[in-house]
Amino acid sequence: MALDHEKRKQISVRGIAGLGNVVEIKKSFNRHLHFTLVKDRNVATPRDYYFALAHTVRDHLVGRWIRTQQYYYEKDPKRIHYLSLEFYMGRTLQNTMINLGLQNACDEAIYQLGLDIEELEEIEEDAGLGNGGLGRLAACFLDSMASLGLAAYGYGIRYEFGIFNQKISDGWQVEEADDWLRYGNPWEKARPEYMLPVHFYGRVEQTAEGVKWVDTQVSLCTRHTRTHTPCDPRQNIRVDRHLSSKFFSHLISPNTFFLFNVGDYIEAVLDRNLAENISRVLYPNDNFFEGKELRLKQEYFVVAATLQDIIRRFKSSKFGCRDPVRTSFETFSEKVAIQLNDTHPALAIPELMRILVDLEKLDWDKAWEVTRQTCAYTNHTVLPEALERWPINLFEKLLPRHLQIIYEINHLHLQRIAAMFPGDNDRLRRMSLIEEGDPKRINMAHLCVVGSHAVNGVARIHSEIVKNTVFKDFYEVEPEKFQNKTNGITPRRWLLLCNPGLADLIAKKIGDDFLTDLFQLRKLLDFIDEDAFICDIANVKQENKQKFAAYLEKEYEVKINPESIFDIHVKRIHEYKRQLLNLVIQRYIFFFPHQYPTVDAVLSTQAAPGYHMAKMIIKLITAVGQVINNDPVVGDRLKVIYLENYRVSLAEKVIPAADLSEQISTAGTEASGTGNMKFMLNGALTIGTMDGANVEMAEEAGEENLFIFGMRVEDVDAMDKTGYNAREYYERLSELRQVIDQIQTGYFSPKEHELFKDVVNMLMNHDRFKVFADYEAYITCQDRVNELYKNPKEWTRTVIRNIAGSGKFSSDRTISEYARDIWGVEPSDVKIPPPNEPPVESRK
């Protein structure tokens, strides 16, 4: 079986630069190894080799990044600023080598030096600056913004500790700190010379010069810059754009120095530690709102630093000049677009108003017009528990001036609504930014809708739910504001990088343009009856399964049959994602193993540390797996495996090996999903409900080519009105009843019979997501899966139809729609030459 790095040299799309200057790569590698890293030590470690290679690759970025920034300052295009509290970047080395066209040269250089490049790639830590889909989507968007030639920047927090490392101990999740920076990060450039102040607490004064926010606690932050580089195989141009991500961190309070001077050392150190806590750790809950002061500090911290950077850049127009040359904000929204990735950066709206009104002295109406035309908001959830609602008393303490601004925004907003709907006080209550109660709370989603010129959902069905339920009143007032932008994934990482065998096969059939135009995959339908192509697709999948099986045996000491169905369910553990439905089905198969082909069910990803039910679900999965995997009657016909510490680098191994992708959330609860797209692109068939992007996937590939089951959104709505009775299904379905009884009576927990009583109680009495209602349809659909799998040729033809239908789900398409419909810019194909070539103008 060929190794991946051997395949890469055969893949036309990776051969952008041929072998390149292998000698130069080796010289640069040795220079970094001996002078930058090892220095006085006589022996280099494998980590030293990784850092030497990373610095060598980064050297190719620096000059191009400077050339790109110079081009932007000279042309002064409209700049896009993508604000997100999460960027789940994963590893950078391999992705950067591919996008720079250096993969082959580095492969050869490292081989000649007697090293294994794949071993060096495995040393890199995942940059886990996100919880799951939200952060991974942001990372894909950065890749596409760069590939589309947009003058765009991502802004987030450089958390010292990212998403926690998950360990499974006796079946229980245990969280450990993700100290991903302990060895340093070669992909960033710290800019401590440009410290930015961020203010907290204090009070508001009315003065003759206007409103002032005084007596604040000031913290200083440092900017860390990293670049994102696309490739363009069509032109043999290695780099056209570099997208800078600004990650803020390292907070210091100036008050600390005064305390040191007066001798209060302990208090000074504690003060500094409190300040630095802001960027210390990523909050691990992405589907639950936690109203903690530190979280609110993080949210304000990132928008305050970001807006200072944006306004500084807006005022400057000459490359390298930091002196303001623009004094009018009339054209601000023509030069600046701010995209709010969910409600976490919502404070950008009152913060921009504070800057424009208090500091730049614009009148309120003009400042509000500028703010609304600049900001746009992406909604990512319809779950009530995930929507941010901050207590007024916390706001008043931490951000008193912003509370005043939000009150004024709400006052003018309600005046307008009252004029449109006289006497409709219930509508005023529903549309208010301030929710009455004890305590009163600020509805951050309402703030985003009112303060933005565009609001979008992330899949068509989700956008319809947003318009018809979540923001129904707002949609009735401003229907033109609401849009849909179906999510996408970058094919560079999620096909070219993680599945080189499939990428090579596709390139041989249709050429390599599909990397920048994923709709080209439609051409694969021309070969759907070609036996040789069908066989090649099946062989690529089987080889990926063999590699993953070897990985499981090595890392988890579990031996599985590569000929079995690899049934994969990898999502954040949450009741609405219905891992319990999958688990019940595995237990059903356990009853009747000879009715089914061999199945290996792989479930994974983390539960939020404070989410009790999610942790109980993990414990139940591992307990069921322990029973099934050791049952002599079942033998090797069924294995249930829980992968600990699911992350981007593990996903890159799992997804290419999957046969079946579980996308089984209750209809109307998943905003979009992007894992479903990754599986589809890599040749897994989907078993799922008509939820999120599954609806559009079924349209693109043909619903008959997915295993669709269960209630639709309208069915769920109807059941909500009539009432869902879990006990009715429990009494009627004997197999289901047997599974639930076994869970309840301790069959899977013989040492603690009532261990899973909370899970059973939730399923029987408090299940908002109606697991039992879709049970029969799920069983029937699994039967369809098993029948098709018995016909390998027809299964593979269905796989080809899915790959061919995945073109819509490129993040390049998504970002092109954002650019044209929301940001008011066009993607650019202007090539900025590398530093060793003359500028475009001088070559004309």
Catalytic residues: 380, 571-572, 577, 674, 678
Could you tell me which of 175, 391, 390, 381 has the C-alpha nearest to residue 287?
Answer: 381
Are 739 and 721 in contact by the 8 Å Cβ rule? The answer is no
Tell me the angle at which helices 579-591 and 734-745 cross, rounded to the nearest 10 degrees: 100
Could you tell me which of 255, 177, 253, 181 has the C-alpha nearest to residue 224?
Answer: 181
Are 389 and 435 in contact by the 8 Å Cβ rule? The answer is yes
Question: Could you give the CA distance from residue 646 to residue 665 in angstroms, rounded to a whole number?
Answer: 19
Residue 607's identity, in one-letter code, is A
Could you tell me which of 664, 640, 651, 661 has the C-alpha nearest to residue 577?
Answer: 664
Are 131 and 573 in contact by the 8 Å Cβ rule? The answer is no
- Three-state SS for 427-465 is HHHHHCCEECCCCCEEEHHHHHHHCCCCEEECCHHHHHH
Token code pair at residue 269:
């150190």
Could you tell me which of 371, 369, 303, 307 has the C-alpha nearest to residue 341?
Answer: 303
Question: Could you give the CA distance from residue 174 to residue 615 in angstroms, rounded to a whole number?
Answer: 9
Question: Could you give the CA distance from residue 53 to residue 49 in angstroms, rounded to a whole number?
Answer: 6
In this structure, how many other beta carbons lie within 10 angstroms of the beta carbon of residue 791? 11
Instruction: List residues bridging with 604 in a β-sheet.
Output: 570, 643
State phi, psi for 490 to the nearest 5 degrees: -85, 125
> Residue 182, SS3?
coil
Distance of CA 154 to the CA centre of its chain: 13
Question: Could you give the CA distance from residue 565 to residue 662 in angstroms, rounded to a whole number?
Answer: 12
